[in-house]
Structure 1
Amino acid sequence: MREQVWTSPRCPVARTIDVLGDKWSLLIIRDAFDGIRRFGHFQRNLGVAKNILTDRLRNLVDAGILSLEPASDGSAYREYALTAKGRDLFDLVISLRQWGQDHMYEPGEDHVLLVDRETDAPVPRLTYVTPDGAPIHADDTRVRKSGE
């Protein structure tokens, strides 16, 4: 595994950005959630240069977000699969999608929509709640520093 350089060793956001902070890594993860597993399919879907894709895939494997596995069809190819650690990024991808839907389109502009596989209904808005079920927002939180 490559040496990791923490932007801020005590901040979980900074550590995450150090691993996922470029657009190609996030788009690879998005595509993996959409079922893409092979190098060539990632490359065609993203239009990214092969050397950049190779580097980002290697970094995601080294970080334990993707694993490299034998092809599911028994061919000589290898496939990339989300690990449990990678699947834990689902909320992040949902948050990015929902923020983009809210802020990156003009009213009425067409865009892709994430829907439930069985019902075809749009996935509900991701929200966070307190242990008693009350909605929680940024103004309701603070960061507690170590030693407080």
Structure 2
Amino acid sequence: MLLMLLFVAFTASVHEYAPPTRRIFSLLGLCLAVVAAAVLLIDYFIQVTVMQPSLKKGQLAGCAILTQYNPNGVFIALEELGCLLMTLALACLAPVFTQPTKVERTIRWLFVLSLATAVAARGIDPGDLFEVIVISTVWLTLIVAGPLVAVVLRRAATRSRRA
């Protein structure tokens, strides 16, 4: 759940970095990040506070559609929606990185490739495999792109201090 809040902070940081002509893209990315985080926070919070205690107490009536182990369940659908929105938010951030440096070019490609992978995976039968692909894609993208974005933001901060 904390990672969802950090994802919003990440996109807000990119929005602050965005040049004025690209701020509409970063704002859209930030808005999508907020929606994705809200969907996933609700999903995870209900799983932890409702489902786990119910399962421990043996209160299983009506839980089949809610359990995370049901590939056609509500929680899987919410998780897929949240991760798809995350990849869309990242793709919206791609145009923000306009500098012709290797780092910014890599970030752009990672963000666009993340969305392309999620869209291509959507053609797969929804359920476990699609969920694994989309979740892995979004988190691997953030693991690789996070430090690269940090480098870009650090360089921008250093330049603005010198100016």
Q: What TM-score, normalized to structure 2?
A: 0.27
Greater share of helix: 2
Q: What TM-score, normalized to structure 1?
A: 0.29
Greater share of strand: 1
Greater RCO (Cα-Cα under 8 Å, separation 6 or more): 2
